Amino acid sequence: MAYAYLFKYIIIGDTGVGKSCLLLQFTDKRFQPVHDLTIGVEFGARMITIDGKQIKLQIWDTAGQESFRSITRSYYRGAAGALLVYDITRRDTFNHLTTWLEDARQHSNSNMVIMLIGNKSDLESRREVKKEEGEAFAREHGLIFMETSAKTASNVEEAFINTAKEIYEKIQEGVFDINNEANGIKIGPQHAATNSTLAGGQGGQQAGGGCC
Amino acid sequence: MMKGARALVGWCCRSELLSERPLTILLRPRSSETLGARCPNTSRFRARPASRHGDCRYKRAPARAVRPLTRNRISRRLVRLLAQSMNILASFLLLYTREEEAFWLLVTVCERMLPDYFDRRVIGAQVDCSVFEELIRELLPHLAERVPDLTALSSLSLSWFLALFLSSVPFRSGLRVLDCFFCHGAKIIFHLGLAVLKSNVEDICTSADDGQSLMILTRRRQRRGGDLVCWTSALNQTTGLLASAYEVRAGGNDSDAYVQRRICKFNERACSAEVRRPDGRAAGKEEIEAQDPGALGPRGYGERERDGARSCRDEGYRHDRV
């Protein structure tokens, strides 16, 4: 299908915070209470519209387990946006955010838009991390913040779309070099026809440095 | 048993696995629930939601696949090993073998067949992914030419290798893959991976970006839980793929030809046995497609596969027990 831009996203965070469920809710609009553990990386895509333009989101859902960390790192490069997810009912997933953020900043391009997501907001009775704490963390590190629930679908769309809006604004401001695919942005076929500077860019993303 | 268990515990200490999260993965009955989702007829896999949080937590262990493992201390140690995708393999093994046999099969897989696959950094699997990339370049040059960056494909192959395809193919086909794996060793997963790519090479080459090619390769799984037609066709596809996986092997010998024949045979029998007529006779292909999805399930696998199992028995893999 024709699209104006393609944005590459990556979803990161501790194991069991609901990364795969967020993706499933966003792409398929359904919730699966018991989900397989993600092995390596999984993948989803969806079309959204921003400012009247079709934008394809290509989302890489990574495994949260420690053993896959080295593999996850190779996906940071070439991502335009990252969703950093924690579980509001588990304090430790919030405490690990700094490690994740360091990892992301170190291995991604500096313009990557990072959105902090406190997931499982439907489980208010078991909440361990206050909303204010999440907001404070986001403010401190310059992230966008949102609490979502993959189960009730609250804020899930908004989380993905707001990140895309932020990236889109950055493109308009000229912060992103859209002709460099390593930034995680690709111009779609309908745009490329008018953009003569883009050489016939077929072939995969030049992302990551192999798997080991 | 004790001696062996001690050896195993020693091995896990060396590979730093004992410090992994204790008693979690298999005890949290996700793995078996996943199996349950894949074989709707097996009540033995079904988890019951706990009454306290009726939402996403399943408190009660879903029976056989989990219970034996919690019974004694050796098992508890074994369960601690079940990092990553190993839980999938373990649940498959526990369906058809006793606890102790499953234990030794897991030891065999971890130590001999797939060394370093299930350690902290899944190094073995990562190495095999690189090898797989090399194999793609060598054996599918057409594909490698069109898709110069194989990172996306290798990320997919990682989950194939770690879960031995069990998470990407339907339950029944997964058993078949396991059979072949125990008969012929780790090389069969390379063959199968190449066969999957080979059968999709046209689609991958014409896809616009690496995301789309990944979609093509995972669509079989996404159809999971759909209607019976897609189940049987996925089964057909996988057994067909296994057959062509053996064709990929260079210089196949007599035993390979035998295995290939058996796979084709299995294909036919699995289709007809999958759905039975009310009078007990096996249904024809058209009827399979017309029947309802609930007719599927792994029951009866044992009887049907008994003679097939005989050929595998020397290898120490017994799957004729239900």
**Tens-place pLDDT, residues A132-166:** 999 999 999 999 999 999 999 999 999 999 999 99
B38: closest chain A residue by CA: A36
Subunit contact B149:A151, Cβ cutoff 8 A: no
When mean pLDDT is compared over A64-73, A162-171, B261-270, the highest value belongs to A162-171
Q: State the ipTM, two decimals.
A: 0.75
At A86-99, the pLDDT tens digits run: 999 999 999 999 99
Subunit contact B209:A58, Cβ cutoff 8 A: yes
The closest CB to that of B34, out of A36, A42, A70, belongs to A36
| pTM beyond 0.80 | no
Q: Which of residues 144-183 of B touch A (CB under 8 A)?
A: 147-152, 154-156, 158-159, 162-163, 167
Asked if A212 reaches chain B (Cβ–Cβ under 8 Å), the answer is yes
The closest CB to that of A34, out of B33, B151, B152, belongs to B33
Q: Please report, in tens digits, the pLDDT of each residue of chain B (322 residues total).
A: 334 444 444 444 343 333 333 223 333 333 333 333 332 223 333 333 333 333 333 333 334 444 434 333 444 445 444 555 676 787 778 777 776 777 788 878 887 888 878 776 788 888 899 889 988 888 888 888 888 778 778 888 888 888 888 877 777 777 878 888 888 788 878 888 887 887 778 888 887 777 777 777 776 544 444 333 334 455 556 666 677 666 655 455 555 666 666 666 655 555 544 444 445 444 554 554 444 333 333 222 233 333 333 333 333 333 333 2
Say yes or no to pLDDT of A113 above 80.
yes
Smallest CA–CA distance, residue A207 to chain B, in Å, is 8
Q: How far apart are alpha carbons A44 and A37 in whole angstroms?
A: 16
Query: Residues A67, A71, A75, A77: what is their CA dihedral angle, to the nearest 10 degrees?
Result: 110
Asked if A41 reaches chain B (Cβ–Cβ under 8 Å), the answer is yes
For residue B255, with 0-12 CB atoms within 10 Å meaning exposed, 13-18 middle and 19 or more buried, which class applies?
A: exposed
Closest CA relative to residue A150, chosen from A126, A118, A125 = A118
Question: Could you tell me the pLDDT band of residue A128, with boundaries at 50, 70 and 90?
Answer: very high
The residue of B59, B89, B122, B135 whose CB has the most chain A CBs within 10 angstroms, and thus the best one to mutate to test that interface, is B122
The residue of B15, B130, B151 whose CB has the most chain A CBs within 10 angstroms, and thus the best one to mutate to test that interface, is B151
Asked if A109 reaches chain B (Cβ–Cβ under 8 Å), the answer is no
Asked if B314 reaches chain A (Cβ–Cβ under 8 Å), the answer is no
Closest CA relative to residue A157, chosen from A18, A37, A43, A46 = A46
Closest CA relative to residue B224, chosen from B25, B55, B36, B94 = B36
At B139-193, the pLDDT tens digits run: 888 888 888 778 778 888 888 888 888 877 777 777 878 888 888 788 878 888 8
Q: Which residues of A touch B212 (CB under 8 A)?
A: 45
Say yes or no to pLDDT of A183 above 60.
yes
The closest CB to that of A40, out of B83, B158, B212, belongs to B158
The number of angstroms, rounded, from the C-alpha of B56 to the middle of its chain's C-alpha atoms is: 25
